[in-house]
Structures are given as structure tokens and as C-alpha cells.
Amino acid sequence: YAHHIQRLMITGNYALLTQTDPAEVDAWYLGVYIDAIEWVEITNTRGMSQFADGGIVATKPYVSSANYINKMGNYCSGCSYDHKKKTGENACPFNSLYWNFLDAKKEVFKDNRRMGMMLNLLSKKGDEEMQEIRDRAKDIIEHPEKF
């Protein structure tokens, strides 16, 4: 069992940021959580967690960096990663995954007013920083066992 906030903020966020196939996320949730009932779980996963319905249920994707995760709970308190760092040796993986996701999907979200502030912040990042973010995100996605 996990509260819906953990499902959204941690596992769902990670799945969306790594652009995992929503069908695989559905199967995982249905297999892992004893209280997962298909008609509820799939609607929540597709509509809220994975933004796979194109914005029918949620008006913006439920994605966040470590900054938000840290503010909303105690998940970062015992973690060896630095929730303030975006890149580098002990930077939290959620940070590079978050900015990489926004960069990859900026055309999809350019007309979404709720994404405007974050896309504006994204546009201010330099080429070198973005390349470091992309490289780290790629490494996390291709080799999750390292993190």
C-alpha cells in the first residue's frame, strides 16, 4: 500500500519524467498495490499520473523536481542525493529528469498557461547547463540501477 500522494509525487512522477509507457505503469500499479482496482487505477494513472489523456482529467502534467518533493514531504530528509543540485555527482535524479522532460515536451506545453512559468525558467538555462541535464537524464533513464 502507498498513499495516492506517494503514487503521484514519487512513482508516477518518476514514470512520467522517464517517459515510461503508460500501459507499463498501469500493469505495475495493478501488480504492486493491493488496493488497485482497474477502473479506478487506469483512470488515475492515465489522466493524472501520466497525463496520457492529453489533458482531459488534469490541465497540466503532474511532474516535479526535487524542490517540490522536498517541500511537500520528508522524502528527501534521509536521502544521499542533494535535492538542490541539478547535475553532478550527488544531484537528485528528479531534477535532471524534470528539466529534461520539460525541454523534450516544450512544444507540447507551449500553449498551456499553467506551464508558462516553468517553460520561461527553462528558456533561461544556458546550452551547457541543458546539455549536462540531458546527459544526466539520459544516464538515469538508460541505467536506473546506478541511481
Residues 56-103: tens digit of each pLDDT: 899 999 999 999 999 998 889 999 999 999 999 899 999 999 999 999
Domain 4-49 CATH superfamily: DNA Cyclobutane Dipyrimidine Photolyase, subunit A, domain 3 (1.10.579.10)
The 3-state secondary structure of 51-72 reads CCCCCCCCCCCCCCCHHHHHHH
Q: What is the pLDDT of residue 41?
A: 85
pLDDT greater than 80 at residue 2 = no
CA distances from 73 to 6, 54, 70 (A): 10, 28, 6
- Amino acid at residue number 40: V
pLDDT greater than 90 at residue 141 = yes
pLDDT greater than 80 at residue 40 = yes
Q: What is the pLDDT of residue 37?
A: 87
Confidence tier at 25 by pLDDT (50, 70, 90): very high
Q: How far apart are CA 128 and CA 73, in angstroms?
A: 32
Backbone angles phi, psi at 65, to 5 degrees: -90, 180
Domain 75-146 CATH superfamily: Deoxyribodipyrimidine photolyase-related (1.10.10.1710)
Q: What is the pLDDT of residue 86?
A: 94
Confidence tier at 147 by pLDDT (50, 70, 90): very high
Domain ranges of the chain: 4-49, 75-146
Largest CA distance in the chain: 45
Q: How far apart are CA 77 and CA 51, in angstroms?
A: 28
